[in-house]
Structures are given as structure tokens and as C-alpha cells.
Chains A and B, each alone.
Chain A
Amino acid sequence: MAKRKSIIKIKPRKYKVGDVVKVDFIVIHPMETGMRKDKKTGKIKPMHYINEVKFYFNDELFTTILPWETVSTNPYFSINMKVTGPGVIKVVYKDNLGEVNEKSKKVKPKG
């Protein structure tokens, strides 16, 4: 199983308990539509896209995104989250070929 690169960013960088922050998630993925031809072989490239992204905060699921192949290559998703205290954001993402990966980021509110 190929290990994919992904990033979670929290914006703004400094936040307090009770703030609503932006959580950006970017993953390096080809997001193949299944409609493009390989220029060298002339064969159609098989469909390969992320079809589920789940956001957890302290193991509590709070957002589910179901993307389709019409999302751009190296998909970027941004959602809001209310900070209720310190914890861990965990993102679990799957693609249509059954690849499952996850990424986590600590939440450290100040003040």
C-alpha cells in the first residue's frame, strides 16, 4: 500500500478555546477520472479517486466528505471546526481502489 503524503493545516495558527478555526486538508493523489488516455500506450487510464474523507476530533466523527472524481488532482478540502479544548484531529481517507490512509494533527488552543 502506497503511503500518501497529506497535510492538515489549522488557520489561524493561534486560537483559543471557543474559536471556530479553518481546517485545511490536502492530499497528494492523482484523482484519475477514467476518461483520459495514456499518451504513450493509448490505453484509457483506470479511474482512481478518493471517495471518502472523514474528520475525527478525539475519535468523535464530526464531518464526512464524499468526493467524486470531478475533484481536482491533489485534492484540497477546507471545513470549519469549533475548538472545545486540546485534542487531536484525525483524518481518515479512502480511495476507490481500497487504499486507506490517515493523518493526525494536535490541537493546542492558547488561553
Chain B
Amino acid sequence: MDAVAEIQWYFPNELEEVPGILALDGVVPHSGGTGILWGGMTRIRGLMDVSRLDLKFCRVRDGTIELGAALSYCQAAAALVESGHLLSRSLSSAATEPLRNRISLGGSISMFPYWSDLLGPLLALEAELSLAGANSGTRALEEYLQNRDLRQNTLITSIRLPDRPWQGAYYRHTRTRTDRPAFNFTVLLRCSPRRIEEVRIVVVGCSGRYRRLTEVEKVIEGSEVPAAPSELLEEAVAQLDIDFPARMGFSAEYLNACAPIELKRTLASALQSSPTSRESTAGSAS
């Protein structure tokens, strides 16, 4: 660990205390702490521990799933597992169990490493964030990621997802299961009996960190549900226009060669999947 000056800790009991603490120089929120340790602590003067705030919950109401930002990956995956939600599957595949017990949703969003197993599904689901502090209010996740100013002196308190049924698949490109992925694909589909009505495809880990693959979506959206999808998927993936830098021991050439193949497989897997949504009882995670 880097040598640092003494770090002050703050333990707010109420959300009302948060803006005042985050306004102090060099204070950042602490939930699980893994991202803070990974990023180094040289610029940190203080840490605001959020464990006493009520930010560990999963609520389903009015067609929306709301996840408390202090939920760990394991807790969030467990809260959504009954419905087979895509987010539950992606979070369960991240890192190892002891790390999933510490990595929090809010911390992972604010740090947004390129190997994140959280951001692809959240972007595809068009998640919104509830924020407290200097930028309090509700913002689209994508706006939060694009505008760094929104992260200043601000705490993510919850993540909101529309609770709609999707067919979906998630793919992470790793050497071994516990590796960080060099890239990952999230595919969501909504099909009527005959047609593919809606498609959302997100890649995380490419140049520029993430991208919605609209060029591929356009080919698939509105197509008939194919009995043998190979031709349609071939045509769609031929439109793929992304670039990968060398990562996680993989060369750029290798990743760029693998990506179309894996995207085609992920699309095929999504077409074969069953629609899922979060219909089980909401509650606090423990």
C-alpha cells in the first residue's frame, strides 16, 4: 500500500449527514473497500463508511427493481436469483466468493473498471441511479458514466431497473473462471411468437471502455425469430465495429478475432433462453 497521511473515518447514521461529509476535502465513500485499495489511497484524506446507512435492500414495486448501492455482489445476486435475472448470473460469475462478499454495487459503478461484470447488464437494462450529496437526484447510469463531474462529492444510494421480462445472455472472456474478463457481452432480447421485437447489446472492455452495439442491433431487431439463426447472426456480427486493446494477457489481435465469434455465440444463447424478470418477494439482504 502507498504511504499516506492519517486517514479520517466518518460513520454517518443518516443520509442527511452525507452531503456535509462528502463536501470535506478528499473524502470518498467506502462500502466494501476493494476498489479503494486497488486504486491506491494517496489522494484520500477521509473515508465515509456507508454501513450504517440503510443501503442494503432489494425492492420491487411499480414495475421497478430498486437495489441498495451498498449491497455486495453476493447479496444482489442472491436477491435476484429466484427469477434467473441476468444480473444475478453476471454478478455470480465475477471474481471469487470472498471478493463478491465485499465488492458493492455502488463502489463498482463509481470505479467502473473495464473488467466490471456489473456495468454491461446495467447499461443494457438502461438503469438509473439515485444520488445523494452534491449531485442529488436521479440520473441515467450512462449520463453518470459520461459526466465525471457527477461523481464529485456524490454518493450512489440505489440502482433502479425496469422490471420487464427479457431473454438474455452474458459472456465474459477470461482464461480461467476467476480471472477478470478482458471483455464481456450482454445481450437482451424481447421476442413475440414470430418476431424479435427489441434487442440490446452492450460490450464492456473495448476501446472507450463500453459501447452499445447499435449496428448489430439494427440487423436483428424486427427480424423473424429464425428456426436456424446462423445466417441472421452471421449477417449481424458482420456489422460489428469495435476495437479492443491488449488486456489481461491477451493481444489486441487475438481479442479482435475472438469478439465476433463470441458475440455470435452469445446472441445464439440469448435466442435459446427463456424470458426472466424479478417476480419474487423483495426484502433486505443480510
Q: Does A pair with B?
A: no
Interface residue ranges, A against B (CB under 8 Å): none
